[in-house]
Amino acid sequence: MSRRRLPWLARPGLAGGIDKDGSRAGELLAVGFGSVEFGSVMPGGLADVAERLATWRGTSRCALGAGLGLPQAWPAEDLAMAWLAGLEALADSVDYLSFNLSAAANRRFLLAEHRVRLADACRRLAWRRNVLAAEHGRYLPLALKLPLGGSDEPLPMAALIGAAAGFDQLIVVLPEDNGRFARLAALTAALGQRPAVVAVGGIRSAAEVAAARQAGAAGVQVHRLFVEQGADCLAMLGEAKMPIQGRRPPDSC
């Protein structure tokens, strides 16, 4: 999938963690972000979140995403099963689906001992997504969220695994050191044009948005800046205040 088919990346997005169950969807979708990611959604909450988000999908120009997480105690051998269940539950409710490897409970899957398991899960997800697209005529972009790591570490193998499997986005959590944009540039150079890379973590100004894009990122997300500044964060990122008004969901919801 080309970046042209991910139009929400033209504006900053709101990262996951602000609203984990979709209860603030009406408020957040109207702020003016290019996308809003809900979650992380745990396996036990899939049905409720899917129903809630389905009432809002398509009500504004803001893309609606969901991030999937797993509890710490979730058996590693059931990774693919859990992710596939999330895909089946949420596919009709969101504009893209993100699989979270950056949360502490999920970073175990970044270890070399789980590399084959992660690659298998990613391939199965992309295959099932393609089957659903053929059956229903709607292609659902998939994203993998992972830490970028510091300059003294190898580039994250999970990024290459996601790219090889056919994922459309990599949401990379930037390190806090001064070389983070150089590190980002190294990753995007290694990946080429696919998948689209979205930078998140410590983005607080228009200059940092520009630096991320200069390093090859197709988009950015913010989290803490929105918590601190609310909707005013968009102006700090160099975006005009352009609320994306959504309609009221059905009264039954």
3, pLDDT greater than 50:
no
Q: What is the average pLDDT value for the chain, to the nearest integer?
A: 92
- Give the pLDDT confidence score for residue 152 in this predicted structure: 87
Question: For residues 141 and 1, which has the higher predicted lDDT (pLDDT)?
Answer: 141
Q: pLDDT digit string (tens) for 33-50?
A: 999 999 999 999 999 999
- Give the pLDDT confidence score for residue 151 in this predicted structure: 85
What's the predicted TM-score (pTM) here? 0.93
What CATH number belongs to 6-236? 3.20.20.70
- The CA distances from residue 161 to 59, 91, 116, 121, in Å, are 34, 22, 9, 10
Please give the average per-residue pLDDT across 14-20, as a whole number. 96
Share of the chain above pLDDT 70, in %: 93
Q: Confidence band (pLDDT; 50, 70, 90) for 134?
A: very high
Backbone φ and ψ of 18, nearest 5°: -80, -45
- Give the pLDDT confidence score for residue 249 in this predicted structure: 53
Please give the average per-residue pLDDT across 130-138, as a whole number. 96
Q: Confidence band (pLDDT; 50, 70, 90) for 172?
A: very high
Upstream peptide bond of 60 is cis (omega within 30 degrees of 0): no
Q: pLDDT digit string (tens) for 223-247?
A: 999 999 999 999 999 997 665 454 5
Whole-angstrom distance, CA of residue 75 vs CA of residue 238: 43
250, pLDDT greater than 60:
no
Please give the average per-residue pLDDT across 170-190, as a whole number. 95
- Give the pLDDT confidence score for residue 242 in this predicted structure: 60
155, pLDDT greater than 60:
yes
208, pLDDT greater than 90:
yes
Q: Are 33 and 12 in contact (CB under 8 A)?
A: yes
- Give the pLDDT confidence score for residue 241 in this predicted structure: 64
Please give the average per-residue pLDDT across 59-86, as a whole number. 95
Q: Confidence band (pLDDT; 50, 70, 90) for 28?
A: very high
- Give the pLDDT confidence score for residue 193 in this predicted structure: 79
Q: Given the structure tokens 């602000």, which residue do they identify? A: 18
- Give the pLDDT confidence score for residue 232 in this predicted structure: 96
- Give the pLDDT confidence score for residue 16 in this predicted structure: 96
Nearest to 90 by CA among 130, 41, 137, 127: 41
